[in-house]
Chains A and B, each alone.
Chain A
Amino acid sequence: MFTAKRVADKKDWLSGRDHDWEIIIGLEVHAQVASKSKLFSGAATEYGAEPNTQVSLVDAAMPGMLPVVNEFCIEQAVRTGLGLNAQINLYSRFDRKNYFYPDLPQGYQISQFEFPIVGEGEIEIEPEGGEAVIVGIERLHLEQDAGKSIHDLSPDDTFVDLNRSGVCLMEIVSKPDMRSPEEASAYVEKVRGIVRALGTCDGDMEKGNLRADVNVSVRKPGGDLGTRCEIKNVNSMRFIRQAINYEARRQIDILEAGGEIDQETRLFDNAKGETRTMRSKEDAHDYRYFPDPDLLPINITQEFVDGIKANLPELPDARKARFVVDYGIPEYDARILTADKAKGDFYERLAKGRDAKIAANWMMGDLFGALNKASINLDDSPVNSDALGELLDLIGDKTISGKIAKDVFEKMFAGEGGANEIVEREGLKQVTDTGAIEKMVQDVIDANADQAAKVADNPRLVGFFVGQVMKASGGKANPQAVNEILRKKLGL
């Protein structure tokens, strides 16, 4: 039985009529194993193929067909289990989960019920604006995905696409250790970061390759656990937070009105931002789990596990620690830059041989800002690490100022060329010729004689002069040189 000892931070409590409430959240993350073929058949798993073109006789459950386990998928489950700091079970077994639906050709899903391949583990998450939290992993098991029922192609008929039928999923079940929508999305973010670093799942939530079932209940802070509802198949971090917020408030409203929560399965409507009933407890299936007699139990050896362990890539937590030490960047920056394998790789390429802190600032500030605004993934960024590095090099050797660099970056992001090319083309090179700067300084002092006279009494006026000179130079004058020459000429 689950217990939930930790009480949420007060900032995460929801206000109620008579008392505050806290939210208890557990998650089941379904991560599609990055395998070219299915869990029990040789059919391809490529996304976006024409309907029913990636279906073997096994996937279509033709009479007499038998499953044969894809060993690659077993290995990926073990890798992932190790990444989640979890117990690897040397004995595990496939069971049948029986129910009828047209997108389930066999009439049962092959899953792992009683003996999952991965047992308990834990990971640390760092929710936005909160303390780090340890989240327990209950288990990870392998299972087949179902096909897809398509209801909107015809008013009367349902169509079935079996391309997904039999694709290998890892279901990663957490303990009910999360207490806020932010913690829940940070958890999914962390799991996603781990599977991506391991390469066991591509983590693509838009394609549904990683999705979450969210279990939500509310209770009086520290009180007895309430009845939970499960929200199925939520497929973005934002939707996870929205769904939890909506669902917690819905439950509180019912409880405060003297009602009871029905344990049920709900759907999240992303358009309306609401959850609604999918099926109630009364409709719950009796899945009649039993060991699949077509498959032998999975017996792996400790040597096999150790072999995988010895070759695990660096995981986000270790990488974060290394970034702090090796690059001297703050922990906060290191966490953001290691949340995702792609970010970490980008940063390491960028920081190599350059000022690591400036590199971090540029990535987290200008680059992420621009990507966010344009809703582009880092992988598809129009400015890659080499291109951004070229820009940083121009700042580093004082060819351009940081301020000009921001304009250059915008142009690079808009696809107007590389950093050097833009600087050359638009004549943005910093003026370091002291003769030229001296002339500009003199012109500004001459044009503002009144102000110049007051400088001795009010040294802060220097800023005004610096601004005027920079303006006159079109931003290209080296600010340090301008400062020095001004001070000399103004007799400071």
Chain B
Amino acid sequence: MSDLTKLTLEAALSGLKAKDFSSVEITKAHIDACMDAADLNAFITTDFTNAMKAAEISDAKLAKGEGGALEGAPLGIKDLFCTEGVKTTAGSKILGDFKPQYECTVTENMKRDGMVMLGKLNMDEFAMGSSNETSAFGPVVNPWRKGEDLVPGGSSGGSASAVAANMCLGATATDTGGSIRQPASFTGTVGIKPTYGRCSRWGIVAFASSLDQAGPITRTVKDSAIMLQSMAGYDAKDSTSINKAMPDLSAACGKSIKGMKIGIPKEYTMDGMPREIEDLWQQGIKWLESCGAEIVHVSLPHTKYALPAYYIVAPAEASSNLARYDGMRYGERVEGDNLYDTYERTRAEGFGKEVRRRIMMGTYVLSAGYYDAYYLQAQKVRTKIADDFKRAWEKCDALLTPTCPSAAFAVGRKLNDPVTMYLNDIFTVTANLAGLPAMSVPAALDNNGLPLGLQIIGRALDEETVFAASSALESCAGFEAKPEKWWV
């Protein structure tokens, strides 16, 4: 039997359905792959025993010709998703040995559809980071390597590495400023952040409520379609959930983009951006043109304010969202001399440096006397950015941009330079600020042999167009490269 870990999710699901192999077999193959790749540090918690049990249950269903859209497929879950009875850390020490008594809506949906959960994937602490180095459980290593260890991007670094290294058929991830798309770009995988409100946030540890969205990281566009279709859906428990039917995403893949208008925003470039990213962008334009798309040039004039606005809004919300980690009801507590001393010690020791930095920034921008100058101003910028997109949609159906201004960088390179680190998000934050669906598709290798991604941004709720354009891009790019399996 061929290596079951090399299959796409789509192929694995049809193989399972055709009984070419069992869920137990494919799950076992992935468990072995996970164990072989332990050095990549992609998982915080594995749950192989329960995974094997779930595989058996799936096999029983498959044997009767039953089962859901993900029946029997071994997948990974970012450790930001609360999973009933399975330790959930958010990449932080502060949650201690926290085992939720509840299952978040997204994984509940996936379990309903027959997912086999292999375990909980490593991530930047509370999803704050672009390199997975802020995790309290150590950095994740990118399976792509050039002489030295590279970061997989972040915050969903564990998800991206695990998918790129064939440790799971696909993984859930979350994206607040680029945390799905940037690691996808760094690891040669596909990742989509859907429209804000498509995936319920209920039970996902909050970073910045108005920006957080869950989505999949997979090896193909079609696999993302399959996973997102299962993850998404209206949820009355999330007041920001959108009650609109999701289009058939699998059907959108491969759909002709003839006549589709693709906008090229002139502002999506940056000083010091490698020439090859610029070239890849031009190549992407040609690919889409060759599929019959019409290229239009658009301007999103407020793009340059997006990153500063993001780094005000996101920390502001985070400073409040993370106030509940006070050592009183769950998680770690460090006893102090009195109540406030206990709070201070608990939070100083429980949170890592980057999380503390963002809590401080967020607290600052919300403080009396600064609120108007920072938070309110940032909200106004946010409105301007959304307006920029609205104007662009008068001219085009989707936008094509690079996903990131660079390829994966070495572990430790940017860790002590937060501003350089934050610049990773420059092309991705706009979609979060405006709540738009955006997808990163692996397009080429750079001169060092590292993957680079291109991004498709679509109108709110128009995932159909995003998938169609991304799928066309994927076909044209024909990205087949795989990292050398050096970790075994």
Chain A residues with CB under 8 Å of chain B are 57, 60-69, 96, 98, 100, 102, 105-108, 158, 160, 286, 288-290, 293-296
Contacts and interface: CB of A to CB of B under 8 A. Distances in A.
B323 interface: yes
A69 B100 CA distance: 23
A61 B329 contact: yes
A158 B342 CA distance: 13
Contact of A106 (B210, B323, B339): B323
12 contacts: A57-B102, A61-B324, A63-B98, A64-B205, A66-B201, A98-B366, A105-B329, A106-B323, A160-B328, A288-B366, A293-B208, A294-B240
A71 to B, nearest CB: 12
Nearest to A58: B237
B238 interface: yes
Given A63-B88, A98-B320, 11 more contacts: A63-B205, A63-B324, A64-B100, A64-B202, A66-B202, A68-B239, A102-B339, A286-B368, A288-B320, A293-B208, A293-B240
B281 interface: no
B44 interface: no
Contacts of B98: 63
Given A98-B323, A102-B328, A293 B202 contact: no
B282 interface: no
Contacts of A158: 339
Contacts of A63: 82, 88, 90, 95, 98, 100, 205-206, 324
Contact of A294 (B101, B203, B239): B239
B406 to A, nearest CB: 30
A67 B201 CA distance: 11
A290 B375 CA distance: 9
B324 A286 contact: no
Interface of B: 82, 88, 90, 95, 98, 100-102, 104, 201-206, 208-210, 236-240, 316-317, 319-320, 322-324, 326, 328-330, 339-340, 343, 363, 366-368, 371, 375
B266 to A, nearest CB: 31
Nearest to A40: B239
Most B C-beta atoms less than 10 A away, residue of A63, A98, A106, A296: A63
Given A96-B320, A288-B363, A293-B208, A66 B326 contact: no
A158 B95 CA distance: 22
Q: Top 8 A-B pairs ranked by shortest CB distance?
A: A107-B323, A293-B209, A288-B366, A293-B210, A61-B324, A64-B203, A63-B205, A286-B368
Contacts of A61: 324, 329
Most A C-beta atoms less than 10 A away, residue of B203, B322, B324, B339: B324
Contacts of B95: 63
A295 B102 contact: no
Given A63-B88, A286-B368, A293-B208, A68 B320 contact: no
A183 to B, nearest CB: 33
A105 B328 contact: yes
Given A98-B320, A102-B339, A293-B209, A64 B104 contact: yes
